[in-house]
Amino acid sequence: MLVVLVLSLLPTTWLVPWTNRLSEIVRLPLVPLGDVATSVRIWLTVDGSDLADRAQFDLLETERNEYRRRFHAANERVRELEGLVESLRGLPPTGEVGEFVAIEVDVVGGDPSSPSSPLQVNAGRRRGILPGAVAVHRGDTLVGRVLADVGPTTAWIRPAAGFGLIDARLVDDQGITDREPGNDGVPVQLRPEEGGWTTTVDRAVAVELGMVARLHDPGWSRFAQGLVIGVVREVGTLESNPTRKTVRVEVLTDPQRLDHFLVVSPKTGEEGMP
């Protein structure tokens, strides 16, 4: 206490140098920490010049949406190509139908309200499409046949349901491996009706729902023989003749809903009647 009393009585000019030196000693270990804290504060401070404005955000969002669209479009194209590969695998061997070319086409015109109305495609004689060529979907489903008026870059295809009477066979594809030799299905003549076909068979003939109709008509090219044209949707008793059954066959794939398929065209010779 005496020392404190003596120091308090000394002049302030004599005490200032001593207190300054003591404060410097106390501050010495804190200075580096302060410098670090200052650097961190500066680093964490947001510089307004680095912020994107609304226009830049809109541009980034637009680019993101565009790349998303391209991604999904690429996936869809992959699925289309997988379908074309499946179609090519389903084509008959060349030795059975002669030389031909398989051409991928896109539908560019038609009348969606009428299942049997012709379809316009974006390929013609320049790409090897000839009158009578056969349009095929996924390997073994018949779409239709190319009409006579084939232009340089376009052609018209009439769906199978748009032609007259068609000879076909009703077969059970599910039991194809168990089919007895010589049993190639039920031969029928299909009459076009409301985008599909109808026919009658004897009551004793085994026709069931889900059986498919495959083309067996000499009026079509050899390549078209055996292609699927429809599936049995209705089987009933013919009112005017109870000893016979009426069968309703509907198209397996509505041609008006297709946007692309294959056209198989002979290189020479074989042309069907359009």
- Condensed to tens digits (0 to 9), the pLDDT of residues 190-214 reads 999 887 899 999 998 989 899 999 9
Beta-carbon contacts of 96 under 8 Å, excluding residues fewer than 6 positions away, are 222
- Condensed to tens digits (0 to 9), the pLDDT of residues 100-133 reads 788 889 999 888 777 788 999 999 999 889 998 9
**Domains (range + CATH), the chain:** 2-32 (no CATH), 90-274 (2.40.10.340)
Neighbours of 225 (CB within 10 A): 17
Specify the pLDDT at position 272. 42
Place of tokens 């066979």: 169
Please state, in angstroms and rounded to a whole number, the distance separating the CA atoms of residues 221 and 94. Answer: 14
Tell me: pLDDT of 154 over 90: yes
Specify the pLDDT at position 271. 43
Please state, in angstroms and rounded to a whole number, the distance separating the CA atoms of residues 127 and 125. Answer: 5
The mean pLDDT of 253-260, rounded to a whole number, is: 86
- Name the H helices within the chain: 2-9, 12-27, 31-44, 54-89, 94-97
User: pLDDT > 70: what percent of the chain?
Assistant: 66
The mean pLDDT of 67-87, rounded to a whole number, is: 71
The pTM of the whole model exceeds 0.75: no
Element (H, E) at 170: strand 166-171
Beta-carbon contacts of 151 under 8 Å, excluding residues fewer than 6 positions away, are 124, 125
